[in-house]
Chain A
Amino acid sequence: MKDKIFKGLLFAAALAILLLTAGVIYVLVKQSLNVFHEYGVFGFIFNAEWDPRPETEEYGAWSFIIGTLFTAFFALLLCIPFSLPVALFNGEYFKGYKISSFVSSVVDLLAGIPSIVYGLWGFYTLRPIVIQLGVNAQGFGIFLASIVLAVMIIPYASSLSAEFLSMIPDTVKEGAYSLGATRAETIRHVSLPMASSGIVAAYILALGRALGETMAVTMLIGNTTNVPTSLRDTGNTMASVIANQFGEADGLKLSALIGIGLLLFLITAVINLIAKFIMKKLSVR
């Protein structure tokens, strides 16, 4: 009897989560129907025009989509040289040592810092450095936002990668050593290939995190509506345009912002699905 009640409770909880997700999707679709009806799905996605003035209003998501993908992928690129060594340090070289658990908890601490604090750090500390590097006159833009994003996603990429690296059975590595391989050779030819799918999945999840980041990006990217073509440009991301303009939005503009929210939801969902798929392939192998 008790077992049945427990089972029922679990079932109800799982159902509640499903309903919640379905509800979110329902509201996003329902509220954004207006804008997709007005411009068509592709007309909305591939239009770079964003004109909120009532007389000439026209809304397209393209510049924000590009801004989002640009910053997220560049951040991913920047984070690899930092997160991969940390993962090897924790999951391979010093696996099980005290120093490794210390380093990994410090890295995890990075994940716990609120994004507004990252924003302030970028604003007051990093921006003057970016100006001195001569990226652009004011420092704000894709470059600055990407650097801060990269630091923010390091813990996500590194701790999951370290997990996958440490899962490789010692017997396999010992086999490599017995054949005369050095440690570096073992990592290059045994550990990394074996954990590769897991590491790729870790980076994809980190990418998903970078795509949705709002506060820190809003403070640093410049918030201009244009399609960024270089690291020097200012721009805007999907999450930050929603955060900025939702308060005063009405009618078609509100619908357009919710439409952007729906697109962001779809993009992150697809990225998560890809990560899941790759991880599944790993466990089969």
Chain B
Amino acid sequence: MKKTLLFLLICFSLFSCSGSRDKSKRSVGVTLSGAGATFPYPFYSIVFRDYMRKNPGVRINYGAIGSGGGIRSLRDKSVNFAASDAFLNEKETASMGAEVVHIPTCMGGVVLSYTLSGVDSLRLTGELIADIFMGKITRWNDSRLAAENPNVRFPDLEITPVYRSDGSGTTFVFSEYLNKVSPEWNREMGTGKALKWKAGLAAKGNPGVASIVQLTEGAIGYVGSEYALTLQMPSALLKNRAGNYVKATLETISAAAETNLSDDMKLTLTDMPHPDAYPISMLTWLLVYEDQTYCGHSRQEAEVLVDLLNYIIGPDGQKLAAQVNYVPLPLRAVQKTQRIINRIHFAGEKLSTAPDPEIAIVNVLSETETVGDHEKTVLHEKSLADER
């Protein structure tokens, strides 16, 4: 009996110690809710869980209902944040009613995965992908595929392109890239979360596309890099703008962001000039209102929200991203994003305690340009994260 009491006492004291650490006071009983994209959901679910563990009392609910639904929910003011793989277009921005800021949280890519026995390495260019998905190249032994892959013996087999049946940010980025590199795609297909397809089969979600591709000889489909990297699916090497054939890895996708980043971070990262850049790379964003004073949301909620955003783009959050095969933001992107987070306010009062960082000098070819000690540590954290 005494032993039990002692044990309970120890447990109690342990919990009370851990509970009284740093931020717990201001975050008692706060629930944040968000909704949106399915693409970053695995990353968000672990980063939110980690944040909730470190801040007892905070609850974060995230519904992966699609970016369209997330944006609608944010507009209805029923959530604190929305998540989207595409930044708001002009029409959407106008419909939001107030200024919305875009917070990039991590990067990803779109991978061309295929099943073709006897072919271990496949090289593709943007034009070839466009023609395959428009139904203009229909067989694997097409001369144009052979010209790009001199060392591969292709079978005489029908190509089955597989695309997404649901509206998706992955489709948006994929089509946005093909729009840039193929005038024909630009004319006939365009860009969008859903398109009017001319050939192939469709399935819902990355898992749907991936399972059709894996089980169908001669199929090729596009899936999110985080999904393909986790499952180690065979994927094509793509020719980037610099003319190199690159495989989608955390490093090559990250290299796509080594460029001039706009201050609002609303930018696409397809067909980027860096020599190592994977050509179909993307950012994914959390969307929040710049002014957090809106219907019934307390200042405390706004503070926790900003703290959460800082945590996600901080070293801990970015490390978690790499663990689940999402690509951590490069240094300069983190700095620009920090400045955006610092703009969020509650009736004019600043919410973030982090200082506005100096933006490192843009140098597309090297990463060695750093200015201060703080950034060196960030860079170090980033390379650690990349190694994982």
Contacts and interface: CB of A to CB of B under 8 A. Distances in A.
Interface of A: 50-56, 123-124, 127, 137-140, 218-219, 222-225, 234, 236, 243-245, 247-250
A56 B166 contact: no
B52 interface: no
Most buried by A among B67, B194, B208, B212: B194
A116 to B, nearest CB: 12
A247 B66 contact: yes
B42 interface: no
B202 A222 contact: yes
Contacts of B67: 248
A124 B211 CA distance: 10
Contacts of A123: 211, 215
Contacts, number: 83
B56 interface: no
B160 A53 contact: no
A53 B166 contact: no
B160 A244 contact: no
Contact of B190 (A56, A138, A250): A56
A139 B218 CA distance: 13
B235 interface: no
Interface of B is mostly: loop
Contacts of A56: 190, 196
Contact of A248 (B160, B166, B208): B166
Contacts of A249: 68, 167
A183 B2 CA distance: 83
A222 B158 CA distance: 16
A250 B89 CA distance: 13
B197 A224 contact: yes
Interface string B194-225: 11110011111000100110011011000000
Contacts of B38: 247
Interface of B: 38, 65-69, 71-72, 89, 158, 160, 165-168, 190-197, 200-204, 208, 211-212, 215-216, 218-219
Most buried by B among A234, A243, A245, A247: A247
6 closest A-B pairs (Cβ-Cβ)?
Answer: A248-B167, A247-B66, A223-B202, A223-B165, A248-B68, A52-B194
Most buried by B among A124, A245, A248: A248
A137 B158 contact: yes
A52 B195 contact: yes
A234 B168 CA distance: 21
A224 B71 CA distance: 27
B106 to A, nearest CB: 20
Given A52-B196, A249-B68, A223 B158 contact: no
Given A54-B192, A56-B190, A137-B160, A250 B204 contact: no
A55 B89 CA distance: 12
A224 B190 contact: no
Contacts of B71: 250
B85 to A, nearest CB: 10
Contacts of B202: 222-224, 244
A160 B40 CA distance: 48
A56 B190 CA distance: 10
A52 B167 contact: yes
A234 B212 CA distance: 14
Most buried by A among B168, B191, B201: B201
Contact of B216 (A50, A51, A138, A243): A138
B218 to A, nearest CB: 8
Contact of B192 (A52, A219, A223, A234): A52
A224 to B, nearest CB: 6
B25 to A, nearest CB: 39
A138 B203 CA distance: 13
A124 B212 CA distance: 10
Given A218-B204, A225-B197, 7 more contacts: A50-B196, A51-B196, A123-B211, A123-B215, A137-B160, A138-B160, A244-B202
Contacts of A247: 38, 65-66, 68-69, 166-167
29 contacts: A52-B192, A53-B190, A54-B192, A56-B190, A56-B196, A123-B211, A137-B158, A137-B160, A138-B160, A138-B212, A218-B204, A219-B208, A222-B202, A223-B165, A223-B202, A224-B197, A224-B201, A225-B196, A225-B197, A234-B201, A236-B165, A244-B165, A244-B202, A245-B165, A245-B194, A247-B66, A247-B68, A248-B66, A248-B194
